[in-house]
Structure 1
Amino acid sequence: MRFIPHTDAEKQQMLEFLGLEQTDQLFQDIPQDIRLNRELKVSGGLSELELTRHMASLAKQNTGVEETICFLGAGAYDHYIPSAVKHILGRAEFYTAYTPYQPEISQGVLQSIYEYQSMIRLLTGMDAANASMYDGASALAEGALMACAATRRERVVISGAVHPEYREVVKTYLYGPKIQLVEAPYRDGITSLEDTAALLDKNTAALLVQYPNFFGSIEDLSQLAEAAHSVGALLVVCADPIALGLLKAPGACGADIVVGEGQGLGLPLSYGGPYLGFLACKEKYLRKMPGRIVGQTVDVDGKRAFVLTLQAREQHIRRDKATSNICSNQALCALAATVYLSLLGRKGLTKVAELCVQKTNYAKGLLAQLPGYELPWPGPTFKEFVIKTPLPPAKINQELLQHNILGGLDLGRYYPELTGHMLLCVTEKRSRQEIELLVDRLGAMA
């Protein structure tokens, strides 16, 4: 039977209150040519057994990383997730969207967020971190706005080696407040220091770079920081948290604000979300930080306690004084990252990062020997690298899929000058046999 929660009499009462004659008038602003204009073609009800079979058949139409060998990255990564992460996330104490405003009944959630902030602070080398954000792209945009608020300037320079979709999000965020966005070119796979320095001026609020960058190359943050600071601008770094298990922390390289995508820290790919953005900064910029921050204090009995603090969001203060309108702290995703990092520890995270580097270099070495394939740039990379291909990447990926392999990203989609180039990703999950299978298939196509 159809599920209609309101009786005809109740619907008529609501229409009269709204001054309408029929329900269709509620949708008058939607153009006729995009309306359905017919009944939904939904068959009758199913039993539980029938519904389970139906949903299973629908799920089989998708091909994910559990069924294929994944060499695709570009911002969403196939890292191994310990089983304990999912187990802890499924506990009823955490499985809620309720914001922990009342500390007396939310100490568990507040403590988990506090632990998350502490871990992000240590990873990034910053003084403070917030209670997480929507994703890496919006975190980078918020970092740009934060830098503009801190410097009272209205110009931002962003590297062309930053994730192209992240750059689009930053552009969207800066459009409203009319903040100028200038793109700095890259050369040989990294941000051009000379060209970037020439773009920085006394009205520049921040320089935005990625570490490692979109191509997997390692940027020299110290020199970029020196260039930004020479004109009074801040350095905002979008970092891969897995890479920070091995690379020098951005804070130790002169970064003022560090953001990033935390999906690799225990979150599945999930068709693009929900993911986890992180944001950390130096103490002097703490009060410009968007979102929430959980702080540690003591209760009336002198015992350790946790509370939400420095909530400079539009829900709590005057809209014109708010630092952002970030409303969700992604607490469940942040908990996944906290559990993941707790399970691995310092040595475990370093080991994962080392495996990524070692396996990436193994794949690069083999591919560079194949006729028709070429590594276009020198320099070290982390878990991702660019390869020039003898055939169009789209055609290569179609062929690889026939062998149960998810190939790399066609860079020509974002960079016209890189048409015929592919971005490949090798995480710690890829085995020697899988890497050699990829090389064998690519060699056969050449």
Structure 2
Amino acid sequence: MTRYTTATDADREAMLAAVGVGSISDLLAEQIPQALLLDRPLEIPDGLSEQEVYTHVAGLAARNTSAEDEVTFLGAGMYDHYVPAIIDMLMGRSEFLTPYTPYQPEVSQGGLQVMFEYQTAISELTALPVSNASVYEGPSAVAAAAYLAKLVNGKTRIVVSAGAHPHTIQTLQTLAVGYGSEVVVVPLKDGRTDAEAWAAAFDEDTSAAIVQQPNFLGAVEDVQALSDAARAGGPKAVVIGSYDPLTLGVLAPPGEVGIDVAVGEGQSLGNRLDFGGPSFGFFAAREAFLRRMPGRIAGETTDVDGRRGFVLTLQTREQHIRREKATSNICTSQALNALAGVVYLSWLGRDGLPELANLLVQRTHYARTTLAAVEGVELLHEQPVVREFALRLPGVDVQGVVSYCQDHGVNPGLALSRTHGGQFDDGLLVAITEQRTKEQIDELARLLGDAVAAQRTGTRQEVSA
């Protein structure tokens, strides 16, 4: 370790003497049970040569399959959208690609302008007046919003719809322990949040109400009704919406349907899949919550000469203010990924976003109708959808169907047994992007039919012509 620390032998002897032990081994023996201590050297084989390591790693990499290698209908929060060349060009510029967090921010006018333009785009997208820039990803954005709710009202009960992404619920349950809250999950009914169970879940100790739009099964929720129910009877719950941003081209923005804090996963805004990350989480809120928001907020101003300039208006990170006053410990914002998001939204423009969303609706309708007509395939629910929907394949091994389709170059979607084991074991979640064509959807229908038939007859059929 002396290559990485400045502690000398004399330094270590002085520290050991200060704590009253003769050696590091003696120190460990006092802290760790003897049964857990290793009394022999580690059995580590000799290292490989550089050439051997490269060959080994290249072999491991060749076992991966990317969205470039197959036709993918896999979604569940990460989507195979087209990323225009302008995004790679701008993200690759050194002034954006290489800087670290600016601790003297006003000298980084370009970086601050990126934050400001990004915040403006997110505020326009969500119809909420303030946005930060930004947080790590979707699930942690929801957890940060739940923490904001506790800071606002001091209450400890978080009510979340079972339609939220399972990773979101898991993240909430993990982090809620740290700030002394409990998470209550409201079940679904016919694919959407059970309205009666949702209304009954609130009491005077409720801190936050969380709904996802569209929900994990692809269903469009009645967010206005859920928001109203969360406020009925006078509880001061903060209503949080976790949104798929591209669906806001056709769905009512959160600020118009009673949402106090809108968050979500930003990967679909110009970010590649990249094996699940990195991406960014967006976070927008009503102005009353401005000083409780995590991360950083950039503002516009003029300098002494009257020229347009940008400042870091608010940063509630523990590096900058007293820890007990901080609302987050985000060290490096996902600013580069957020840059991709604002470039993508600018590239689409005000007309392009609804055009893309309408295209998703049309192709999703065609895919849903076509796949539900396949023998042995049913809809898991019949609620309105935008770009993702759930199917049932009763009586067959869904993961086996997935593997069959993958063997023929098509990833048909997510087997819901992986996320909702015991509840939707016969479920398949299918996602549509603008990259999926009618011909590819028809091919998926043929493969699903062949895979289901193969399982039911116990044969391994060849794909239909």
TM norm. shorter chain > 0.5:
yes
1:336-379, Cα deviation, whole Å (9 max, x unpaired):
11111111112222222122211111111111111111112112
The one of 404, 411, 417 equivalent to 1:406 is: 411
Distance 1:36 1:304, change over 3 A: farther
- The Cα offsets for residues 305-324 of structure 1, whole Å up to 9 and x where unpaired, read as 11112212222222222222
Structure 2 contact 106–112 (Cα < 8 Å) conserved: no
SS of 2:435's partner is coil
The change in CA–CA distance for 1:56 and 1:360 in structure 2 (over 3 A counts) is: same
The one of 362, 366, 370 aligned to 1:366: 370
| Alpha-carbon distance in 2 for matches of 1:341, 1:83 | 14
Q: CA deviation at 1:6?
A: 4.1
Please name the residue that 2:438 is paired with.
432
In the TM superposition, residue 55 of structure 1 has moved relative to its aligned partner by 5.8
1:225 is aligned to 2:231: no
Q: Where in structure 2 are there 5+ consecutive unaligned residues? A: 453-465
Does structure 1 conserve the Cα–Cα contact (< 8 Å) formed by 2:116 and 2:299?
yes
1:264-275 equivalences in 2 (<5 Å): 264-275=268-279
Matches of residues 35-434 of structure 1 in structure 2 within 5 Å?
A: 37-46=42-51, 56-230=58-232, 231-390=235-394, 391-415=396-420, 416-434=422-440
Aligned pairs for 1:3-22 within 5 A: 6=3, 12=9, 15-16=12-13, 19=16
Partner Cα distance (1:5, 1:299) in 2: 49
* Residues 103 and 306, structure 1, Cα contact 8 Å, conserved in 2: no
Residues 190 and 218, structure 1, Cα contact 8 Å, conserved in 2: yes
Mapped contact 2:192–2:383 kept (Cα < 8 A): no
Give the Cα separation in 2 of the matches to 1:237 and 1:307: 29
Q: 1:206 to 1:264 in 2, by over 3 A?
A: same
Q: Structure 1: which 5+ residue stretches go unaligned?
A: none
Q: CA 1:330/1:21 → structure 2, altered by over 3 Å: closer, same or farther?
A: farther
1:56 is displaced (CA, Å) by 4.9
**Following TM superposition, by how much is the alpha carbon of 1:103 offset from its aligned partner in structure 2, in angstroms?**
3.4
Name the CA shift for 1:62/1:73 in 2 (closer, same or farther; >3 Å). same
Superposition deviation, residue 61 in structure 1: 2.2
**Percent identical across equivalent pairs?**
43
Shift of the 361–16 alpha-carbon distance from structure 1 to 2, 3 Å rule, reads same
- How far apart, CA to CA, are the structure 2 residues paired with 1:365 and 1:299? 58
Query: How far 1:412 sits from its partner (Å)?
Result: 2.2
Q: How far apart are residue 40 of structure 1 and its match? A: 4.7
Distance 1:82 1:41 in 2: 46
Cα distance in 1 between the residues matched to 2:330 and 2:199: 32
> Retained in 1: the 8 A contact 2:100–2:332?
no
**TM-score, with structure 1 as normaliser:** 0.91
Indicate how the Cα distance of structure 1 residues 237 and 36 shifts in structure 2: closer, same or farther if over 3 A, else same. Answer: farther
Deviation string 1:35-86 (CA, Å, 9 cap, x unpaired) is 992335432244xxx9877765543221110001111111111111001111
Q: 1:149 to 1:104 in 2, by over 3 A?
A: closer
1:211–1:11 CA distance, 2 compared to 1 (3 A) = same
- Of 314-323 and 366-375, the range deviating more from structure 2: 314-323
Secondary structure of the residue that 2:93 maps to in structure 1? coil
Query: In structure 1, what residue type is equivalent to 2:279?
Result: Y
CA RMSD of the aligned region, Å? 2.5
* Shift in alpha-carbon separation, 1:41–1:286, aligned structure 2, 3 A: same
Evaluate the alpha carbon distance shift between residue 39 and residue 108 of structure 1 in structure 2; reply closer, same or farther with a 3 A threshold. same
* 8 Å Cα contact 1:263-1:269 kept in structure 2: yes
